[in-house]
Amino acid sequence: AQSVTQLGSHVSVSEGALVLLRCNYSSSVPPYLFWYVQYPNQGLQLLLKYTSAATLVKGINGFEAEFKKSETSFHLTKPSAHMSDAAEYFCAVSEGSGYSTLTFGKGTMLLVSP
Amino acid sequence: DAGITQSPRHKVTETGTPVTLRCHQTENHRYMYWYRQDPGHGLRLIHYSYGVKDTDKGEVSDGYSVSRSKTEDFLLTLESATSSQTSVYFCAISPRDAWEEQYFGPGTRLTVT
Protein backbone atom coordinates (compact mmCIF):
# COMPACT_ATOMS: atom_id res chain seq x y z
CA ALA A 1 0.00 0.00 0.00
CA GLN A 2 1.18 3.51 -0.74
CA SER A 3 1.02 6.52 1.56
CA VAL A 4 2.28 10.07 1.85
CA THR A 5 3.22 12.11 4.90
CA GLN A 6 3.60 15.87 4.69
CA LEU A 7 5.44 17.31 7.66
CA GLY A 8 3.82 20.47 8.93
CA SER A 9 0.26 21.50 8.20
CA HIS A 10 1.44 25.13 8.04
CA VAL A 11 4.79 26.62 7.01
CA SER A 12 5.54 30.33 7.34
CA VAL A 13 8.31 32.14 5.44
CA SER A 14 9.24 35.71 4.68
CA GLU A 15 9.18 37.03 1.14
CA GLY A 16 12.55 36.26 -0.46
CA ALA A 17 13.34 33.36 1.89
CA LEU A 18 13.84 29.74 0.92
CA VAL A 19 10.71 27.61 0.70
CA LEU A 20 11.01 23.99 1.85
CA LEU A 21 7.94 21.76 2.01
CA ARG A 22 8.54 18.21 3.16
CA CYS A 23 7.05 15.02 1.73
CA ASN A 24 7.87 11.44 2.66
CA TYR A 25 6.29 8.51 0.90
CA SER A 26 5.79 4.81 1.36
CA SER A 27 5.52 2.51 -1.64
CA SER A 28 6.20 -1.17 -2.24
CA VAL A 29 7.39 -0.47 -5.80
CA PRO A 30 9.23 2.41 -7.46
CA PRO A 31 6.86 5.34 -7.10
CA TYR A 32 5.59 8.11 -9.27
CA LEU A 33 5.50 11.34 -7.24
CA PHE A 34 3.67 14.61 -7.74
CA TRP A 35 3.32 18.05 -6.19
CA TYR A 36 0.14 20.05 -6.64
CA VAL A 37 -0.75 23.60 -5.59
CA GLN A 38 -4.20 24.85 -4.65
CA TYR A 39 -5.03 28.55 -4.51
CA PRO A 40 -8.09 29.65 -2.53
CA ASN A 41 -11.40 28.52 -4.01
CA GLN A 42 -9.73 26.76 -6.92
CA GLY A 43 -8.94 23.22 -8.00
CA LEU A 44 -5.51 21.63 -7.77
CA GLN A 45 -2.85 22.51 -10.31
CA LEU A 46 0.08 20.24 -11.15
CA LEU A 47 3.43 21.79 -10.15
CA LEU A 48 5.77 18.97 -11.10
CA LYS A 49 6.09 15.20 -11.32
CA TYR A 50 8.74 12.50 -10.91
CA THR A 51 8.40 9.41 -13.09
CA SER A 52 11.76 7.61 -12.65
CA ALA A 53 13.79 9.82 -14.96
CA ALA A 54 16.00 12.60 -13.49
CA THR A 55 15.90 12.73 -9.69
CA LEU A 56 15.84 16.54 -9.66
CA VAL A 57 12.59 17.71 -11.18
CA LYS A 58 11.86 21.29 -12.16
CA GLY A 59 8.33 22.56 -12.20
CA ILE A 60 6.38 25.70 -12.81
CA ASN A 61 6.76 28.99 -10.93
CA GLY A 62 10.40 28.28 -10.00
CA PHE A 63 9.67 25.22 -7.84
CA GLU A 64 11.73 22.05 -7.90
CA ALA A 65 11.80 18.75 -6.03
CA GLU A 66 14.42 16.07 -5.52
CA PHE A 67 13.64 12.37 -5.34
CA LYS A 68 15.78 10.66 -2.67
CA LYS A 69 15.16 6.94 -2.60
CA SER A 70 17.32 6.29 0.47
CA GLU A 71 15.28 8.82 2.47
CA THR A 72 11.93 8.01 0.77
CA SER A 73 11.51 11.75 0.35
CA PHE A 74 10.37 14.17 -2.33
CA HIS A 75 10.72 17.63 -0.77
CA LEU A 76 9.59 20.73 -2.64
CA THR A 77 11.82 23.80 -2.70
CA LYS A 78 11.96 27.30 -4.12
CA PRO A 79 14.97 29.58 -3.59
CA SER A 80 13.03 32.79 -3.02
CA ALA A 81 9.40 33.00 -1.90
CA HIS A 82 6.96 35.43 -3.46
CA MET A 83 3.72 36.63 -1.94
CA SER A 84 1.92 34.89 -4.80
CA ASP A 85 3.25 31.52 -3.60
CA ALA A 86 0.88 31.58 -0.63
CA ALA A 87 -1.35 28.55 -1.18
CA GLU A 88 -1.86 24.96 -0.06
CA TYR A 89 0.51 22.35 -1.44
CA PHE A 90 -0.20 18.65 -1.79
CA CYS A 91 2.22 15.79 -2.36
CA ALA A 92 0.88 12.64 -4.04
CA VAL A 93 2.21 9.14 -4.82
CA SER A 94 1.22 6.33 -7.15
CA GLU A 95 2.75 2.95 -7.84
CA GLY A 96 3.04 3.52 -11.57
CA SER A 97 1.23 0.43 -12.78
CA GLY A 98 -2.12 -1.26 -13.17
CA TYR A 99 -5.03 0.61 -11.66
CA SER A 100 -2.89 2.27 -8.97
CA THR A 101 -4.39 5.68 -8.41
CA LEU A 102 -2.92 8.72 -6.68
CA THR A 103 -2.79 8.92 -2.91
CA PHE A 104 -2.58 12.47 -1.59
CA GLY A 105 -1.00 13.85 1.54
CA LYS A 106 -3.02 16.06 3.86
CA GLY A 107 -1.50 19.23 2.53
CA THR A 108 0.75 22.02 3.77
CA MET A 109 -0.43 25.62 3.84
CA LEU A 110 2.36 28.00 2.85
CA LEU A 111 2.09 31.46 4.40
CA VAL A 112 4.31 34.23 3.02
CA SER A 113 4.81 37.43 4.97
CA PRO A 114 6.20 40.71 3.58
CA ASP B 1 -6.15 24.56 -18.56
CA ALA B 2 -7.75 21.16 -18.99
CA GLY B 3 -11.35 21.47 -20.13
CA ILE B 4 -13.17 20.31 -17.01
CA THR B 5 -16.35 21.82 -15.67
CA GLN B 6 -18.37 20.91 -12.62
CA SER B 7 -21.98 21.69 -11.92
CA PRO B 8 -23.38 23.02 -9.77
CA ARG B 9 -20.53 25.01 -8.22
CA HIS B 10 -22.42 25.51 -4.97
CA LYS B 11 -25.35 23.63 -3.50
CA VAL B 12 -27.21 23.63 -0.21
CA THR B 13 -29.50 20.69 0.41
CA GLU B 14 -31.35 19.07 3.28
CA THR B 15 -30.53 15.81 5.00
CA GLY B 16 -32.18 12.86 3.29
CA THR B 17 -32.51 14.40 -0.16
CA PRO B 18 -30.77 12.96 -3.24
CA VAL B 19 -28.05 15.04 -4.86
CA THR B 20 -26.26 14.59 -8.18
CA LEU B 21 -23.06 16.38 -9.09
CA ARG B 22 -21.87 16.49 -12.68
CA CYS B 23 -18.38 16.52 -14.14
CA HIS B 24 -17.93 17.28 -17.82
CA GLN B 25 -14.67 17.10 -19.78
CA THR B 26 -13.79 18.16 -23.29
CA GLU B 27 -10.39 16.38 -23.38
CA ASN B 28 -11.60 12.88 -24.31
CA HIS B 29 -9.52 11.47 -21.43
CA ARG B 30 -10.09 7.88 -20.39
CA TYR B 31 -9.94 8.21 -16.60
CA MET B 32 -12.21 10.31 -14.44
CA TYR B 33 -12.25 10.64 -10.64
CA TRP B 34 -14.33 12.04 -7.83
CA TYR B 35 -12.63 13.28 -4.65
CA ARG B 36 -13.82 15.00 -1.54
CA GLN B 37 -11.69 17.55 0.29
CA ASP B 38 -12.09 18.16 4.01
CA PRO B 39 -9.87 20.15 6.39
CA GLY B 40 -7.19 17.93 7.89
CA HIS B 41 -7.89 15.06 5.50
CA GLY B 42 -6.52 16.30 2.20
CA LEU B 43 -8.14 14.73 -0.84
CA ARG B 44 -9.80 11.36 -0.58
CA LEU B 45 -10.87 9.30 -3.57
CA ILE B 46 -14.56 8.42 -3.70
CA HIS B 47 -14.94 6.60 -7.02
CA TYR B 48 -13.19 6.54 -10.34
CA SER B 49 -13.92 5.45 -13.89
CA TYR B 50 -11.60 3.83 -16.42
CA GLY B 51 -14.05 3.94 -19.31
CA VAL B 52 -17.71 4.21 -20.24
CA LYS B 53 -19.71 2.10 -17.78
CA ASP B 54 -16.46 1.01 -16.04
CA THR B 55 -16.14 2.28 -12.49
CA ASP B 56 -14.49 1.28 -9.23
CA LYS B 57 -14.62 2.29 -5.58
CA GLY B 58 -12.13 4.48 -3.85
CA GLU B 59 -11.22 5.02 -0.22
CA VAL B 60 -14.49 6.65 0.91
CA SER B 61 -17.22 5.25 -1.37
CA ASP B 62 -19.92 4.49 1.22
CA GLY B 63 -23.04 6.59 0.59
CA TYR B 64 -21.99 7.51 -2.96
CA SER B 65 -22.68 6.05 -6.37
CA VAL B 66 -21.40 7.04 -9.81
CA SER B 67 -22.29 6.59 -13.44
CA ARG B 68 -20.52 7.19 -16.72
CA SER B 69 -22.67 6.71 -19.81
CA LYS B 70 -20.51 8.91 -22.05
CA THR B 71 -16.77 9.53 -22.16
CA GLU B 72 -17.23 13.20 -21.32
CA ASP B 73 -19.58 12.93 -18.32
CA PHE B 74 -19.09 11.44 -14.85
CA LEU B 75 -21.92 11.79 -12.35
CA LEU B 76 -21.65 11.49 -8.57
CA THR B 77 -24.88 10.77 -6.67
CA LEU B 78 -25.56 11.00 -2.99
CA GLU B 79 -28.67 8.84 -2.68
CA SER B 80 -29.68 10.31 0.69
CA ALA B 81 -27.46 13.16 1.75
CA THR B 82 -26.15 13.33 5.31
CA SER B 83 -24.41 16.17 7.17
CA SER B 84 -21.15 14.18 7.07
CA GLN B 85 -21.17 14.59 3.30
CA THR B 86 -20.83 18.36 3.59
CA SER B 87 -17.58 18.90 1.72
CA VAL B 88 -15.92 20.28 -1.37
CA TYR B 89 -16.05 17.79 -4.23
CA PHE B 90 -13.48 17.75 -7.01
CA CYS B 91 -13.55 15.96 -10.30
CA ALA B 92 -10.28 15.05 -12.01
CA ILE B 93 -9.21 13.44 -15.27
CA SER B 94 -6.10 11.71 -16.55
CA PRO B 95 -5.37 10.82 -20.16
CA ARG B 96 -3.85 7.36 -20.28
CA ASP B 97 -3.28 5.57 -17.01
CA ALA B 98 -4.62 5.80 -13.47
CA TRP B 99 -1.17 6.30 -11.99
CA GLU B 100 -0.31 9.36 -14.05
CA GLU B 101 -0.90 13.02 -13.34
CA GLN B 102 -4.46 14.21 -12.93
CA TYR B 103 -6.07 17.48 -13.92
CA PHE B 104 -8.70 18.95 -11.65
CA GLY B 105 -11.95 20.78 -12.07
CA PRO B 106 -12.89 23.90 -10.07
CA GLY B 107 -14.85 22.02 -7.39
CA THR B 108 -18.40 21.93 -6.02
CA ARG B 109 -19.09 23.15 -2.50
CA LEU B 110 -21.92 21.05 -1.03
CA THR B 111 -23.60 21.87 2.26
CA VAL B 112 -26.05 19.42 3.78
CA THR B 113 -28.22 20.99 6.51
pLDDT digits (tens, 9 = 90+) for B50-100: 999 999 999 999 999 999 999 999 999 999 999 999 999 999 999 877 678
Q: What is the pLDDT, as a whole number, of residue B96?
A: 77
Strands A108-113 and A87-94: antiparallel
Per cent of chain B over pLDDT 90 is 88
* Ranges of chain A whose pLDDT falls below 70: 98-99
Give chain A positions within 8 Å (CB) of B106.
42-43
Amino acid residing at B106: P
B22 to chain A, closest Cα gap in Å: 15
Q: Is A51 helix (H, G, I), strand (E, B) or coil?
A: coil
- Distance of alpha carbon A77 from the chain centroid: 9
> What whole-number distance in Å separates Cα of residue B47 and Cα of residue B65?
8
Q: What is the pLDDT, as a whole number, of residue A48?
A: 95
> What whole-number distance in Å separates Cα of residue B96 and Cα of residue B87?
28
Is 70 exceeded by the pLDDT of residue B24? Answer: yes
Taking CA–CA distances from B55, the nearest residue in chain A reads: A99
Nearest to A102 among B40, B41, B102 (CB): B102
Q: What is the pLDDT averaged over residues B97-104?
A: 83
> What whole-number distance in Å separates Cα of residue A91 and Cα of residue A111?
17
pLDDT tier, B2 (very low <50, low <70, confident <90, very high otherwise): low
Q: What is the pLDDT, as a whole number, of residue B1?
A: 56
Taking CA–CA distances from B97, the nearest residue in chain A reads: A99
